Structure 1
Amino acid sequence: MSHDPALERLANATLLVPFESHHAPRWILEGLADGISGVCLFHNNLDTPEQVAALNARLSEAADTPLISLDEEGGDVTRIGQAHGSDYPGNAALGAVDDTDLTRRTLRSLGGRLAELGLNLDLAPTVDVNVADDNPVIGTRSFGSDPELVARHSAAAVLGLQEAGVAACAKHFPGHGATSQDSHLTLPRVEADADLLHRRELLPFRAAVDAGARSVLTAHIEMPGLGVEGPATLAPHVLNELLRGELGFTGVVVSDAVEMQGLSGRIGIPEAAVRAVSAGCDLLCLGRFVYADRVEQVRAALVAAVREGQLPGERLEEAAARNAELRAWIRSRAALRAAAAEDTEVGLAGARRALRVDGVLPRWADPCVVEVDAPAGMAVGEVPWGLAPWFPGTERVSPDTAHAERLLAAAQGRGLVVVVRDAHRYPQARGLVERLLAERPDAVVVEMGLPVWRPACGAHVSTYGAARVNGLGAAELLGGAVGAAARG
């Protein structure tokens, strides 16, 4: 097959690729020079702020304004806060406060932090309406379960990020909030009719589009109510008639990670990439582990699909042009990013305002603090959470009632604080908490996920998220050691 540099460059223009290390490998730098639109950074690429800034400066030298992106939602899903947790409350906390000015200022400040590090595209905000309590992938990433509330905060988040010169990306279109499965692992299905989907799922996306969101990220979910079988990412009707036609979106449609099982599990990554571009995706987020050889397979599949008539060349040109327009918009906002400033107070202030207390908090000088472990979702990854930084001696235990006797003995003569995360989703965690409360009904329960389950206890604290600032806010209430060293 003959080599066609122009066609290969067009295929490259649809790619947002990951890589392996803290330094940009040669294949990435050469790929950016050969037209790859940009990169998506994950935990494995990020270390100190100085390293991240140096990496992004090197990436920026390889091409004219490549897209340098990541999933930085604040709250539970943080890449730049991986080591200690985020300095910003997530969407659930902002939704609990319900102050759109706070949301806008929070995201503007977060955008300022990203801009300072050399990032220019944030795959945020999550604008899904979380109506399924057992949703394993959205939860605290959502502003809430009320479409109107989610819509107004989605618009505020988009405005805030983009005021810092960082392109926003509303996700996961057409709405991942009513699922009880994780599209990283399978293809979730939303059973709702078209009228409900328009009133609920689509309302925040309409608000984000109207606020000027430069990009929208698709969901690998089935919505038969929209007349579509299979992933929405591969549905021309969803991406073209609905998103572009009905909602009037003119920016870049980004696929959720192509390597996720909900999209490519049955057909493989190269074929999924071809079908996604054919359906209307402009930019393919290839995921966490799609490195050089597999990127080459995707590029080759796109080129072959055009040559064989499976993918119209005009569709590839259209996608490349939209991605070039996004890069031009980012280039035009260089002065905004240079001037963007982080508000070091807004994150903790928002987390404090989100706190909710049921009951009367006791004044314990030295409580026994127990954290009941909960698995991190795939979108979250391994990020520290809990109250341990402010309560020396805190113990993290598995959700097993076998720990109860020992924990009760340790708490004898002391106050008892039990910290959980989304306890409503984990029967074993609830079992352990109830066993502890049977002996210690005066205990304080701190819920760092969604406060769906509220046991009878001395006092119940809801943080609406597990970011570092959520933990610090709760620790302040409970009298933890929150001096200068703990705040650092």
Structure 2
Amino acid sequence: MPADRSLERLANATLLVPFEAYTPPRWLLDGLADGFAGVCVFHNNIEDAEQITSVNARIREASDTPLVSLDEEGGDVTRIGQRAGSEYPGNAALGAIDDPALTRSVHRSLAAELHALGFNLDLAPSVDVNTAADNPVIGTRSFGADAGLVARHAAAAVTGLQEGGVAACAKHFPGHGATRQDSHEVLPVIDADPDLLAERELLPFRAAIDAGVRSVLTAHIELPGLGVRGPATLAPEIVTGLLRDGLGFDGMIISDALDMRGVSGDIGVPEASVRALASGCDLLCLGRFAYADQVAAVREAIVAAVRTGRLGAERLEEAAARTDAARAWVAGHSARPGPGEAGIGLDGARRAVRVVGELGPLRAPFVVEVDAPAGMAVGEVPWGLSPWFPRTVRLEAETADVAALLAEAAGYDLVVVVRDAHRYPATRTLVDRLCRARPDCVVVEMGLPVWRPDSRAHISTYGAARVNGQSAAELLGSAETAPAR
């Protein structure tokens, strides 16, 4: 058995850690020198492009090709676009277009930007088949509800990212699209037997693996139809049996964030880390708030588990070898890739827009944005049409004063902007009332267009990225020019 010091370095080689602010703290730089596999950057680490490029350079200097990662899906889930919204359409928009060549080009351009900023691992794409319309955690992050469509775009996205010099990560294995709960908060249950899982959830993962994806990220979901209890992340039958042995994936397996309640709510992050390694995970994404003391506690738990025989030393060595192999791949792709295609994100967003009804000319739009809570994966990212229309108000559906709103909108063309209205009864009630009072009302849906009111026209953008908003604003005849990001 390796000595304690060697065990600590092996444990470090399985850790993907966050940090607190805009500069890398000493504990992180020391940990990288002592073998941390890499870092996961969140929006609280990104001030602007110049700052994060400098930070990532310091991180790379602290170690030999560490994994520098983030959740950058484009669309609604963006870190580099957290302040103004993404310049790339998300998966739902790309799936609505259904042009895999475009999906590949968009992701290649995204990767080129990430590479220039110093990132080498993107925890994307989401290849979940979103069969539950009221899914609170996937939704527009999915290419769609059809497994074949998701599979071809999964392969295209993986190919594009890796052509751009950034390792891709297909998520969330074995598929989070049929859930009606958020694994950040609870452990969702998917009612799927092995045949349904193979036909639906697993098809995109097979396509991603065939496309050469370098990593796969697990889901904190429960699958009783497979005879497995507890989170998939902690289940050897799923991580090793299904993904590694069944699908033949030999790359790096990454856990979803281990601070999520769906995996560690009852046992804590250190214990969840040990169990995730035992199940077959190679790289432990610790989440957003696991800093120095918490990281040390995870490492100590892993070392203790090996010492007591709960975790085999060979399993820890295998995990470390796979993270080393991933680092070797990104080192081999460190040459700067060619630039992305300028404007491809906006072009894609424009192609995704769908209009039902008669839009007609709008002379003086008065825009009402009905707020919707941001999910944990999305965070607080700006969305809506306010950058393009000066007469914009945002309100809560539950507290809206309809009479006052209609009075304020009198003499203007009324445009109502919603996001996943099908998930919020109060939003639907408000929109219906506005449409009855103003039959000329135009409704813009910036989530999934599951519900459509009786309005003059209905615009679907299939996402709330900045480019989705701009594409809708252009259709509405905005004379305003929003400042560039």
Q: TM-score, normalised by structure 1?
A: 0.98
Kindly provide the CA deviation profile for residues 452-474 of structure 1, in whole angstroms up to 9, marking residues without a partner as x.
00011000000000000000000
Distance, in Å, in 1 between the alignment partners of 2:439 and 2:260 is 44
Unaligned runs of 5+ in 2: none
Task: Name the residue aligned to 1:403.
Answer: 401
| Structure 2 counterpart of 1:233 | 233
Deviation string, structure 1 residues 7-57 (Cα, Å, up to 9, x no partner): 100000000000101101000000000000000000110011000000000
- Superposed counterparts of 1:108-257, under 5 Å: 108-257=108-257
Runs of 4+ with >4 A deviation: none
| Structure 2 counterpart of 1:193, one-letter code | D
Aligned with residue 411 of structure 2, among 407, 413, 416:
413
> For 1:33 and 1:243, how far apart are their aligned partners in 2?
32
Note the alpha carbon deviations across 1:112-169, whole angstroms, 9 max, x for none.
0100000000000000000001100000000000000000000000000000110000
* Matched-pair contact (CA < 8 Å) for 1:472–1:482: no
Residue 245 of structure 1, CA deviation: 1.4
One-letter code of the match for 1:451? Answer: P
Farther-moved stretch of structure 1 (235-244 vs 443-452): 235-244
Kept after mapping to 2: 8 A contact 1:401/1:435: no
- Is the CA contact 1:401–1:431 (under 8 Å) kept in the aligned structure 2? no
- Output the CA distance in 1 between the equivalents of 2:480 and 2:390: 11
* Cα deviation, residue 365, structure 1: 1.5
Q: Tell me, yes or no, if structure 1 residue 76 matches structure 2 residue 76.
A: yes
For 2:434, the equivalent position in structure 1 comes to 436
Contact 1:123 1:170 in 2 (8 A): yes
Q: Deviations over 1:199-255 (max 9, x none)?
A: 000000000011000000000000112221110001111111211112110100000
SS in 2 for 1:390: coil
Residue matched to 1:326: 326
| Distance in 1 separating the partners of 2:479 and 2:221 | 44
* Structure 1 position 372, deviation (Å): 0.2
Residue 452 (1) aligns with residue 450 (2): yes
Find the aligned partners of 2:401 and 2:68 in 1 and give their Cα distance: 46
Give the deviation of 1:401 after TM superposition: 6.1
- Counterpart in the other structure of 2:266: 266
State the distance in 2 between where 1:217 and 1:121 align. Answer: 12
Q: State the match for 1:394 in structure 2.
A: 392
The secondary structure found in structure 1 opposite 2:221 is coil
Task: Report the CA distance between 1:362 and its aligned residue.
Answer: 2.4
- Whole-Å separation in 2 of the counterparts to 1:370 and 1:69: 37
Question: Are the counterparts in 2 of residues 127 and 171 from structure 1 also a CA contact under 8 Å?
Answer: yes
- Which one-letter code corresponds to 2:395 in the other structure? V
Structure 1 gaps of 5+ residues are none
Q: Distance in 2 between matches of 1:82 and 1:345?
A: 19
Deviation, structure 1 residue 482 = 4.6
CA deviation string 1:94-119 (max 9, x = no partner): 00000000000000000001000000
| Contact 2:165/2:337, CA 8 A, preserved across alignment | no
From 335, 357, 360, give the equivalent of 1:359.
Answer: 357
For 2:357 and 2:307, how far apart are their aligned partners in 1? Answer: 68
1:32-47 map, 5 Å: 32-47=32-47
Q: Deviations over 1:284-332 (max 9, x none)?
A: 0000101100000000000000000000000000000000000000000
Provide the residue aligned with 2:63 in structure 1.
63
Q: Which moved more, 1:395-404 or 1:128-137?
A: 395-404
Q: Take 2:84 and 2:340, find their aligned partners in 1: how far apart are those partners?
A: 18
Deviations 1:42-74 (A, max 9, x none): 011001100000000000000010000000000
1:400 Cα shift? 2.5
Secondary structure at 2:415 match in 1: strand
Structure 2: distance between partners of 1:180 and 1:371: 25
Aligned residue pair count? 484
Cα distance in structure 1, aligned partners of 2:347 and 2:173: 31
Alpha-carbon offset, residue 3 of structure 1: 7.5
3-state DSSP class of the match of 2:254? strand
Distance apart, 1:360 and its partner CA: 1.1
Q: Which residue does the alignment assign to 2:378?
A: 380
Partner Cα separation in structure 2 for residue 173 and residue 379 of structure 1:
16
The aligned amino acid for 1:420 is V
Q: Secondary structure at the match of 1:396?
A: strand
CA distance in 2, matches of 1:15, 1:461: 44
Q: CA deviation at 1:402?
A: 3.8
Q: CA deviation at 1:442?
A: 1.3
Amino acid of the residue matched to residue 280 of structure 1?
Answer: G
Shift of the alpha carbon at 1:342? 2.6
- Match of 2:170, SS state, is strand
Residue identity (%): 68
